[in-house]
A and B are shown apart, each in its own frame.
Chain A
Amino acid sequence: MTQKNTVLKHMRRSPYQSLAAIFMTTITFFIVSVFALVVLGAHSMLAFFESRPQVTAFFKDDTLSSEVETLKSTLASTVQLDNTKYISKDDALEIYKSQNSDNPLLLEMVTADILPASLEVSAKNASDLETIAAVMQKQNFVEEVVFQKDVIDTLRKWVTGIRTTGIALSSLLILASLATIVIILGLKFTARKTEINTLSLLGATSWYIRSPFVSEGMIYGITGAILGWGFSYLTLLYLTPNIVSFLGDITLLPVPIWVIMSLLGAQVLLASLIGALASLIATRRYGR
């Protein structure tokens, strides 16, 4: 049996220590995965809202098409517009029909006459939204202006808050995992002091002595990362129907497979680094 083969043997000999290390790293990477998915979802939601017409003006029934054209020109000369889209009463009815195609009763009750025509305007800069809304509200043929800036601002605050909390909590848990692996490998290193001394007297290099501990640390990290990722993915799959129904038009799910696999790859890499660093700290006496 060579040094390379002793790693699993030593893990089996102290199963509770090994389980403690794996448990800690699993919790860490579960939380990291959850926050990563939540932040990614929140960013997608933000992008969804930002890509939508950001200011919508609903016109009175007697509004003339020339007045709408004048409004478009005024807006174009005031700010840099990304896109403008006029939705007539008939267009509005078509949209209504497509959204309620599974409810014939609602379709029968609505005609094009009762739906207002509207103008959806998106700006290149979010800061221009207020100007656009102000110009629209000044027009006497405008019934109502729906302005999404407040929604986006609130969402941005939430994303920032979630991200900050996620980074802080993940950092603390990563430190706790690092400390756990350092303590466990340090105990194992001390318990094998006689064996390590013999190896040294037989001419083993520092790396030969330390490498099984580095492998062990990396195994703890990688196992925890895979389990944490796996549990978070299962949780996401379990909650998918509820999330889809809650989000309505916003299509965040299913999360693309490349995103899930990239998350796994990044976590395995991070876990390897944590495991290797922890083992090098635990065996630093032999690195000198």
Chain B
Amino acid sequence: MIVFDDVTISFGNGTKALSDISFAVGEGEFVIVEGHSGAGKTSMMRAVIKDLPLSKGKIVIEGDDISKISAKNLPLLRRKISVIFQDFKLLLDRTIAENIDLALDIIGLEGDVVEKRRKELLELTGLAGKEDYFPVQLSGGEVQRVAIARALAPQPKVLFADEPTGNLDAKTGMSIIKLLQDINEAGTTVVMATHDLELVKDLKLRRIRLDHGELAHDSGAHHHKKVASDSAQTDLKDGESSRTTELAEGEET
């Protein structure tokens, strides 16, 4: 489903955020990307939604090489791959309901559908009754839940969570991880980046460890080859052009 193929991201001053990274994530997986600050976790997430250009290699999502996705079709990619940002990126002058409604408005939902979907998301994330609060009126854990609710609004196939437990105590952090696991069990692929190795050490999940931009360990490395191979076969079967058409049609709707 997601293939990182020899991905390198360099900055102008020669610093490498990622260096020759290759791995694959299959549909429905829950993967933890762990590493200390500066390991390249955030760069990896930004690259997936084309917020950071690749210097080398390619990222393939559902058979589409994202470097070939046009600026016109980029919004569709970003609705398919949702990211929970480390700094949340919530609009502080809008209520929780308005922040979630914004994400629903972007995908073109209107009226009662928006209200119904918002209620579902607030219940799922345990925020029912908080819709009229502003982000600054909520606790760290609640703000994180708002970010999760907003990220889930477009019903993405993949959810990338960048340090979702970053500034939370252990108990609240675990509740967020539990929520992400529930989301994963409902069918969404989840990739969670964290530097808190202690918090996730007991979780029986696939782990990818980054160290100074390099792939230090992948507990599901055997899986990488299978997913990458499946992805290549899908490419040959469906062809690039049909996928581009699908993206274009999706954009119009």
CB of B215 to closest CB in A, whole Å: 25
- Is B85 part of the binding interface, using a Cβ–Cβ cutoff of 8 Å? yes
- Interface stretch, picked from B19-27, B97-105, B191-199, is B97-105
- Is A1 part of the binding interface, using a Cβ–Cβ cutoff of 8 Å? yes
- Is B206 part of the binding interface, using a Cβ–Cβ cutoff of 8 Å? no
Closest chain A residue, CB of each to CB of B79: A203
Which of the residues A201, A206, A288 comes within 8 Å of B78, measured between beta carbons? A201
Which of the residues A198, A204, A205, A206 comes within 8 Å of B89, measured between beta carbons? A198
Which of the residues A3, A195, A200, A288 comes within 8 Å of B105, measured between beta carbons? A3
- Is A167 part of the binding interface, using a Cβ–Cβ cutoff of 8 Å? no
- Is B49 part of the binding interface, using a Cβ–Cβ cutoff of 8 Å? yes
CB of B110 to closest CB in A, whole Å: 8
Cα–Cα distance between A205 and B253 once the two chains are bound (Å): 12
Cα–Cα distance between A203 and B83 once the two chains are bound (Å): 11
Cα–Cα distance between A263 and B49 once the two chains are bound (Å): 50
**A-facing residues in B106-158 (Cβ within 8 Å):** 106-107, 150, 154
- Is A202 part of the binding interface, using a Cβ–Cβ cutoff of 8 Å? yes
- List residues of chain B with CB within 8 A of the CB of A205: 75, 251
- Is A262 part of the binding interface, using a Cβ–Cβ cutoff of 8 Å? no
Asked whether A201 lies within 8 Å of B106 as measured between CB atoms, the reply is no
Cα–Cα distance between A219 and B120 once the two chains are bound (Å): 36
A residues contacting the other copy or chain, number (CB 8 A): 16
Asked whether B103 lies within 8 Å of A202 as measured between CB atoms, the reply is yes
- List residues of chain A with CB within 8 A of the CB of B154: 202-203
- Is B51 part of the binding interface, using a Cβ–Cβ cutoff of 8 Å? yes
Asked whether A202 lies within 8 Å of B101 as measured between CB atoms, the reply is no
Asked whether B49 lies within 8 Å of A201 as measured between CB atoms, the reply is yes
Closest chain B residue, CB of each to CB of A205: B75
CB of A200 to closest CB in B, whole Å: 8
Asked whether B105 lies within 8 Å of A201 as measured between CB atoms, the reply is no
- Known contacts A195-B91, A203-B78; 11 further A-B pairs (Cβ under 8 A): A1-B98, A1-B102, A198-B91, A200-B78, A201-B49, A201-B83, A202-B102, A205-B251, A206-B72, A208-B106, A288-B71
Asked whether A2 lies within 8 Å of B101 as measured between CB atoms, the reply is yes
- List residues of chain A with CB within 8 A of the CB of B106: 199, 202-204, 208
**B-facing residues in A49-85 (Cβ within 8 Å):** none
9 A-B contacts, Cβ less than 8 Å apart?
A: A1-B98, A197-B89, A199-B102, A201-B89, A203-B78, A203-B107, A204-B75, A205-B75, A205-B251
- List residues of chain B with CB within 8 A of the CB of A204: 75, 106
CB of A243 to closest CB in B, whole Å: 52
